[in-house]
Chain A
Amino acid sequence: DVKVTQSSRYLVKRTGEKVFLECVQDMDHENMFWYRQDPGLGLRLIYFSYDVKMKEKGDIPEGYSVSREKKERFSLILESASTNQTSMYLCASSRQGLNTEAFFGQGTRLTVV
């Protein structure tokens, strides 16, 4: 089975802190994604990556950056956490190619106080 592992289930951080959310997949997938999930808004794409060191902005990239130094790992960085970044963050991966589904991690619930 494909496994996508996010490093933390729950995080509490202070306003202004630099926050790293880590995601690792074990199926050699080319594509990796970061979404945030908020009630009433569904899932919104923050960033995605289709290859090592490559990244594309999603719908809501402001306040975030990403890093993909190795194929299996995709990190989301909150440069200076703010309370409006309190949310559930979901990492996903998929094979390259058309029609492929994405596999999701368990999510990280981040609270910024």
Chain B
Amino acid sequence: GDSVTQMEGPVTLSEEAFLTINCTYTATGYPSLFWYVQYPGEGLQLLLKATKADDKGSNKGFEATYRKETTSFHLEKGSVQVSDSAVYFCALRANQAGTALIFGKGTTLSVSS
């Protein structure tokens, strides 16, 4: 079945460092891909998404490109801030009706000043 694998954390960075969180997927067809973020004590929020190959999703300085050839959707940010400290989840949704989001296990990011 479909699945998502993302790098294990925690990831610990200093403010203004470059961030990459790796995400790869297994799916038939052409799923939609998502990154969600969960701040402490809160539910998940959509960070960005991409719905077809070579699409780039971006939001709040974060970017991810849908790479069909490598089945990847890595999350990047050029300069992280302390406020980016959170848990990040990669997810996919099969391109058919009546399906749910499938999530990776999450990566905890901790940014220090």
Contact = CB atoms under 8 A, between A and B. Distances in A.
Interface residues of A, number: 28
Interface in A27-56: 31, 33, 35, 40-45, 48, 50, 56
Contacts of B102: 45
B61 interface: no
A101 B49 contact: yes
B: interface residue count bin: 20 to 34
Nearest to A35: B103
B76 to A, nearest CB: 20
A56 B98 contact: yes
B93 interface: yes
Interface of A: 4, 31, 33, 35, 40-45, 48, 50, 56, 58, 90, 92, 96-107
Interface of B: 32, 34, 36, 42-46, 49, 51, 89, 93, 95-98, 100-106
Given A50-B98, A98-B32, A102-B46, 5 more contacts: A42-B104, A99-B32, A101-B34, A101-B49, A104-B36
